[in-house]
Structure 1
């Protein structure tokens, strides 16, 4: 079952660590309109969706948004992977209390 557009928009925005207002400004959509998209009250037009994923900061999510697939070798990722990967150190706490 595919994720609703409203949830996908929220995942993209949250992965970029942006507020709804910041995201709306980035993609040149009025804040109130964007809030309706993310709440599921309205569905963005094709023009708006294309504007979102033609943005250089967001284009890495386009394949996932439209098809639910990823192609990391092509730079196409899912939002949940946006802040993981190279920067991950592999460090894990021992669980022992100190002090």
Structure 2
């Protein structure tokens, strides 16, 4: 699996226009481990493979990533796939609105003075504010993912 998995992993990352660092952070994989996967120096563990199948950014391409074959359905047979068309699975408009909302939330938190020198930061409260502001995006994304599965 290593060489072809490594090649497909890099193709997926490049098609998503992510650096190795950002892609490993998105998937919550240590960067050093991710680099070894992409170089073919290390095989991914089951928990790492699971991340590809469960993350909204990669779940539509996980089968191809692991096997090199398209997921079979009524319209296709098991054939070699070209690098994934990520525009179908990941909406850039959604991403920009999500980032803008997160930025506004973080600016609000900074405006409250929670990040001042010598002051202890309550990250739980920060997380609650971010979740409150971003929850509509998470619900919308989960709903669109459900529709794709149905």
- The reply to whether TM is greater than 0.5 is yes
Q: Structure 2 length normalisation: TM-score?
A: 0.46
Larger radius of gyration: 2
Which structure has the higher relative contact order (CA within 8 Å, separation 6+)?
A: 1
- Indicate which of 73, 85, 102 corresponds to 1:81: 85
Which residues of structure 1 form unaligned runs of 5+? 85-99
**2:61–2:84 contact (8 Å) kept in structure 1:** no
> Across the two proteins, how many residue pairs are aligned to each other?
80
User: Root-mean-square deviation (CA), in Å?
Assistant: 2.7
Which residues of structure 2 form unaligned runs of 5+? 76-80, 89-150
1:57/1:78 CA distance change after superposition, 3 Å: farther
Residues 33-83 of structure 1, C-alpha deviations (whole Å, 9 max, x = no match): 100110011011121011122100111102322441156999xx8534335
Runs of 4 or more off by more than 6 Å in structure 1?
71-74
Q: Following TM superposition, by how much is the alpha carbon of 1:32 offset from its aligned partner in structure 2, in angstroms?
A: 0.7
Rounded to whole Å, the distance in 2 between the matches of 1:29 and 1:37 is 10
Q: Structure 1 length normalisation: TM-score?
A: 0.66
